[in-house]
């Protein structure tokens, strides 16, 4: 019985740690041409339900007509979310021109 509970707890812990690992990428126009990259952090509370501050993609892209946008969790973002127990859950927005 102890082994069953231990295995169940391990499976649950692994499942919980993989639930919020995602990356979303959008390409605008013909995609990035110059190789310039701009990064900004997005700040959320309560597992991403309450936005505090999000990156302004139009400002990050400037006057570029061709670029890509990627929103992802970096290692540091995941570490901060794990340390705070999901209360603070940052993401990173990357604009490649």
3-state class (DSSP) for residue 74 = coil
Measured at the CA of 73, the angle between CA 62 and CA 63, to 5 degrees, comes to 5
What does DSSP say about strands 91-96 and 37-45: parallel, antiparallel, or unpaired?
A: antiparallel
Q: With CA atoms as reference, report the closest residue to 24 among 79, 77, 92.
A: 92
Q: Is the pLDDT of residue 94 over 70?
A: yes
- 30-85 pLDDT, tens digit per residue, is 888 888 999 999 999 988 889 999 999 999 998 889 999 999 988 888 888 889 98
pTM for this predicted structure: 0.73
> For the purposes of burial, counting CB atoms within 10 Å of the CB of 45, is it exposed (0-12), middle (13-18) or buried (19 or more)?
middle
Domain boundaries, the chain: 22-96
């Amino acid at each position: 019985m102890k082994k069953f509970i231990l295995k169940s707890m391990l499976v649950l812990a692994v499942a919980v740690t993989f639930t919020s690992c995602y990356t979303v990428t959008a390409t605008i126009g013909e995609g990035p041409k110059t190789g310039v990259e701009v990064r900004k952090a997005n700040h959320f509370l309560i597992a991403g339900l309450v936005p505090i501050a999000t990156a302004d993609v139009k400002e990050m892209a400037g006057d570029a007509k061709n670029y890509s946008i990627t929103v992802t969790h970096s290692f540091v973002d995941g570490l901060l979310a794990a340390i705070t127990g999901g209360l603070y859950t940052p993401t990173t927005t990357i604009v490649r021109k």
